[in-house]
Structure 1
Amino acid sequence: MSHRDARIFFSASLTAWTGLWMHRIAVMWLAWELTRSSFWVGMVAFCDLAPAVVFSPIAGAVADRMNRVKLTMIAQGVIGAQALGIAILTWTGVISITSLLVFEVIGGIAASFAQPARQALMPGLVPRADLPAAVACNSLTFNVARFLGPAIAGPMVAIWGVVPAILCNVAAYVVATASLPLMKVDPAHIQGHAPEASLLAETVEGVRYAANHPGIGPILLFAGISAILLRGVQEVLPPYVERLFDQGAAGLALLTAAIGIGALVAGLWVASRGRLAGTTRIAVVAIGVQALCAMGFVATGWFPFAVLCGALYGACASIHGISVQTLAQSAALTRMRGRTLALWGLITRACPALGALVLGTAGEVFGMRLPTLIAASAALLVTLWGVTRMRGWARHLENPT
């Protein structure tokens, strides 16, 4: 934060992500009010996050070959317009679950392009020695927003409904987009390389590079499987809140804020490390602890204990996410960074979406508790696999050449 451009970058990120979390709380609650179905709540999360499966690899290749500032501005503008459309339809009373799904798909596509372009700017804002701390600060900012957004949106939704919360997201993205031209980014990190092949060929090259890298490939695979099994819980919170704990919108906001607080505290700890050594081990072990927290969350009907488990769950998710992103961003070649970060973006968006859809569907048949316990148990087995291989991964991730 001693660098001017980094302060602008993270302030804009905090603004945008606070609006995003307000939006997510609002649309989750809107979907629940429209349908009273955990399946449709999961489907809304799926439509927001799943476009990353198709578009993130392409977006990474685009970010590696064009002006990343302009690409970010266009993508963020679309996100703001999408939120405005939802707000107008809801305010006029003509919103339906179908139209909500369509708008969330549009937002998901735009976010798939914004993520790699914006994150690839970060090495141009701070010296290389500060990059691990900058990556941690980036995730930390996201988790501060995860606390602030629900804390603001919960009472707002309870008193005035979902429209004001969604409009705040519109305003947040306008501010974030307007801030981009104010930054002085190292030119080497603004413009991607000149096209070396077709967009499809460069997209395939990026996937092949990450898959064949002895450290990046395995850690992204580990993160993806873990996200499918565990992150879906966070994407379909309304059914948990109402069915297991008999809480309303205020309870949803409290639980989401607790997850954010846990993530914030954990993020501060990771940021304070400022080194790569031991990061692979931390990334793997955090998933095992997160699985135990998910089990504790659904094993009780006492809401205060569930909130505590939620905070610990958020802490582990933050530790894992910051660690994996730091490792991938540090180990990737500069010319491949956009595509590598796009694959990370795919994991953080598409994998939770799939997990949310499975949990929401299974929750309609078996209730929310049993599917969550099964998924968390599977995550413990994945952690065991990671523990047996993490030393080999670390050799290629923590000592990049």
Structure 2
Amino acid sequence: MVAWTGLWMQRIAVSWLAWELTGSAFWVGMVAFCDLAPAVLVSPLAGAMADRVDRVQLAMWTQIAIALQAAAVAGITYSGHMTIGILLVLEVCGGTAASFAQPARQTLMPGIVARADLPAAVAANSLCFAVARFVGPAIAGPLIAIWGVVPAIAANAVGYLFAFATIWLLRVDPKERRGHPVSTSLGREVLAGISYAARHKGLGPLLLYAALGAVLLRGMQEILPPFVERLFGRGAESLAILTACFGIGALAAGLWVASRGRLEGASRLAVFAALAQAIATVGFIATGYFPLGMLCAALIGGAASVHGISVQTLIQSAADPGYRGRMLSLWGLITRACPALGALALGALGEVFGLRWPTLVAVLLFLGVFAWGVARLRRMQQELEGTPAGPAAG
């Protein structure tokens, strides 16, 4: 909670810093891209590493790396020497560290709770992220408005130092602390993980559906400052409010999924929650009325939370334990690299066509992805939930 609160404070601050430095939606999108895109190259390696080394140790050292990156961004900005080029390089460094941290941390979950509790545990994990997504911006907005971006970024360094100092307190089943004995090269294990996902008749379509949805629907959330200023004519405080609305929606939806606490129906939730996110996105870009924008932001956050929790639960449950780290690293790649690609495209097109039309086109393209996902829903249910052949479960 402490680390993720700091993370969201830095995300808001860095996004606003890029907007202040350039006044360009393209460069705001490029900053988001540099933070998230390293996952394309790093996540498969990170997943293979998480399947062959001590996962607690890996999580610890990646968290200290994230703390050092935040301290560097805050220090250079405070000194007055920050440029958009330096910021891009530092965001690549932070994104690389985060890509290693994600599978290392998430693969520990089955070593902490029983298999029957995994759906609720995944939901609880996402709830922590949703609370931080609400609290972080709520703190960052006033900080940025009064004292600038430096305190908000420095808070992330403090948060991750705290995480580094406390993660060793976890009591993890020794059998789950490592994935498997090292028997081949890291490169071969990466390829084996990708092959496993491609062959799996449930995980393969699920991950592809999530990836396409993230490219087409998540870019808008990664470059919020231009939307805040151009659509609503507001500043940093409203950016924090909108980001908090995403978090509130995610928290409410996460509480519902956690109370549901079962695997049955998760595939259907994963597919249809993305459609709900697309509809709410249309509502967000169609209005210049800020309260309606806040409502749509909450709906987007809620739908994205249901989708993400459902996908993670299915991965944790269906993946072979020896491949779990690599499957979760592919999910990390989807949640980081795919929104980065969407943000870069949306930022570039936004400079030429404005922000509304490119976002609307992306939603229309997603409707085709949704139709493809619905056509494969029955098979995904059979493979991921053990649902017997026949009409899709409700």
TM bin, normalised by shorter chain, reads over 0.9
Contact 1:266 1:316 in 2 (8 A): yes
Q: Which residue of 2 aligns with 1:364?
A: 351
1:238 matched to 2:238: no
Are 1:79 and 2:70 matched, yes or no?
A: no
Q: CA deviation at 1:38?
A: 0.3
Identical aligned residues as a percent: 63
Matches of 2:102 and 2:158, distance apart in 1: 19
Give the distance between the partners of 2:179 and 2:378, measured in 1 at CA: 33
Alpha-carbon contact 2:205-2:376 (below 8 Å) kept? no
Q: Which amino acid in 1 is paired with 2:273?
A: A
Distance 2:26 2:3 in 1: 28
1:298 counterpart residue number: 285
| Residue of 248, 266, 286 corresponding to 2:235 | 248
Question: Residue type matched to 1:68 in 2?
Answer: R
Show the counterpart of 1:176.
163
Summarize the alignment of residues 2-401 of structure 1 with structure 2, pairs less than 5 Å apart: 14-399=1-386
Cα distance between partner residues in 1 of 2:7 and 2:83:
21
**Contact 2:179–2:321 (Cα < 8 Å) also in 1:** no
5+ long unaligned stretches in structure 2: 388-394
Distance 1:219 1:363 in 2: 30
Distance of 1:96 and 1:255 partners within structure 2? 27
CA distance in 2, matches of 1:95, 1:355: 26
CA drift of 1:191 comes to 2.1
- C-alpha distance in 1 between matches for 2:38 and 2:339: 12
Partner of 1:4: none
> Which position in structure 2 is the counterpart of 1:8?
none
Q: Is the 8 A contact 2:43 2:332 kept in 1?
A: yes
The one-letter code of the counterpart of 1:394 is Q
Quote how far apart the aligned CAs of 1:298 are: 0.6
Partners of 1:213 and 1:248 in 2: how far apart? 46
CA deviation profile, 1:56-110 (whole Å, cap 9, x unmatched): 0000001100011111111111100000000000000000000000000000000
Cα distance in 2 between the residues matched to 1:377 and 1:339:
32
In structure 2, the residue matched to 1:10 is none
User: Following TM superposition, where does structure 1 have runs of at least 4 consecutive aligned residues deviating by more than 6 angstroms?
Assistant: none
The CA deviation string for residues 138-169 of structure 1, in whole angstroms up to 9 with x for no partner, is: 11111111111101101111111000001110
Alignment match, 1:9: none
Whether the 8 Å contact between 1:232 and 1:352 is mirrored in structure 2 is: yes
SS in 1 for 2:176: helix
Please give the TM-score of this superposition, normalised by the length of structure 1. 0.96
> What is the SS of the residue equivalent to 2:59?
helix
- Counterpart in the other structure of 1:7: none
Distance 1:48 1:307 in 2: 25
Separation in 2, partners of 1:210, 1:227: 18
Q: CA deviation at 1:399?
A: 2.5
1:383 Cα shift?
1.1
Alignment partners' CA distance in 2, 1:143 and 1:222: 23
Superposition RMSD on alpha carbons, in Å? 0.8
- Specify the code of the residue in structure 2 equivalent to 1:46: F
Which deviations, in whole Å up to 9, do the C-alpha atoms of 1:286-313 show, x marking residues without a partner? 1111111111101111111111111101
Provide structure 1 residue ranges, at least 5 long, that are not aligned to the other structure: 1-13
Alpha-carbon distance in structure 2 between the residues aligned to 1:128 and 1:278: 17
Count of matched residue positions in the alignment of Structure 1 and Structure 2: 387
CA distance in 2, matches of 1:344, 1:367: 31
Q: CA deviation at 1:192?
A: 2.9
SS in structure 2 at match of 1:195: coil
In structure 2, C-alpha distance between the alignment counterparts of 1:203 and 1:61, rounded to whole Å: 6
Contact 1:287–1:379, Cα closer than 8 Å, also in 2: no
Partner of 2:390: none
